[in-house]
Amino acid sequence: MGNSEKDSTSKSINETVNGSHQFTVKGYSLAKGMGPGKCLSSDVFTVGGYDWAIYFYPDGKNPEDGALYVSVFIALASEGTDVRALFELTLVDQSGKGKHKVHSHFDRALESGPYTLKYRGSMWGYKRFFKRTSLETSDYIKDDCLLINCTVGVVRNRLEGPKQYSIPVPPSDMGQGLKDLLESEIGCDIVFEVGDETFKAHKLILAARSPVFRAQFYGLVGDRNLDKVVVKDVEPSIFKVMLLFSSYSAFISTWKRIEKNACVYMH
């Protein structure tokens, strides 16, 4: 039986990015008489990467209704084509009874799916949102003000494949740790004599960084009991830098000069 590829999966997820805006109409009585088709506009607000605005028509949007109804619409205020969204328009009950007038796409099945706005200026709403005479004697108006809440849910689609987890790895501080170990002289088991000075080090670390020292300390012809190395033709200050940065950091190539000038003595 031949080898088979692993099965794979993916998921198309449709969801909404939601946001709300409250539009206050203060001095409602002064807005009456503007005429059908004339509106008050809210400030522009952003939801789902698009700009929106609420339009309130005190005398209605449709001249044929003879100013019998107020109209409320939500409009796409930015460039966009075929923006699919859900909407909710709420006339707030200001009596505290919570009897708001709500027209909502949310939390119910839509036969035709979310509403599609084709271009900037496209609107969704109600020409006959509320009968004006009923509105003016209701708890929706208080101190000549009314409040309109609008919630927009922009439909987004994303593709979800197999999850790949990554764990952030902090930069290694091993070099600093080895440097501190060298300077503390804890566990040192080899001494380098350079001129009039001596330097202690760790044979295992040197062997890991240098094939020459690996052979001298642990090779077939090496001496595991070796505890002293005499280095000639190198200044102590230079050797110290080489030992620090070559054996306990990343620059192994600087050991080549030391390897050529090291004379090994048995003790």
**Whose CA is closest to 116, among 73, 72, 86, 74?**
86
Q: Give DSSP secondary structure letters for 103-170.
A: EESTTS--TT-SEEE-STT-EEEEEEEEEHHHHTTSTTEETTEEEEEEEEEEEEEEEE---------P
Which of the residue ranges 16-25, 111-120, 234-243 has the most confident prediction, judged by mean pLDDT?
Answer: 16-25
Q: What are the start-end ranges of the H helices in the chain?
A: 28-31, 132-135, 174-184, 203-209, 211-218, 236-242, 255-261
The answer, yes or no, to whether residue 264 has pLDDT greater than 50, is no
pLDDT-above-70 percentage for the chain: 87
Distance CA(231)–CA(263), nearest Å, equals 6
Q: Determine whether domain 174-264 maps to CATH 3.30.710.10.
A: yes
- pLDDT band of 73, cuts 50, 70, 90: very high
The answer, yes or no, to whether residue 150 has pLDDT greater than 90, is yes
140-147 mean pLDDT? 95
**In the chain, domain spans:** 12-160, 174-264
The answer, yes or no, to whether residue 110 has pLDDT greater than 90, is no
Residues 149 and 22 sit within 8 Å (Cβ to Cβ): yes
Residues 204 and 241 sit within 8 Å (Cβ to Cβ): no
Confidence at residue 249, expressed as pLDDT on a 0 to 100 scale? 58
Summarised one tens digit per residue, pLDDT across range 180-204 is: 777 788 888 888 898 888 888 888 8
**Whose CA is closest to 175, among 252, 257, 230?**
252
The count of other CB atoms within 10 Å of the CB of residue 148 is: 24
**Whose CA is closest to 194, among 108, 257, 112?**
257
Confidence at residue 251, expressed as pLDDT on a 0 to 100 scale? 41
Segment among 37-41, 160-164, 217-221 with least mean pLDDT: 160-164
N-terminal to C-terminal alpha carbon distance within the chain: 66
Contacts of 137 (CB under 8 A, 6+ apart): none
116-124 mean pLDDT? 91
Confidence at residue 165, expressed as pLDDT on a 0 to 100 scale? 67
Please give the CATH topology (third level) of the domain spanning 12-160: 2.60.210
Confidence at residue 260, expressed as pLDDT on a 0 to 100 scale? 52
- pLDDT band of 258, cuts 50, 70, 90: low
- pLDDT band of 265, cuts 50, 70, 90: very low
pTM: 0.58
The answer, yes or no, to whether residue 57 has pLDDT greater than 70, is yes
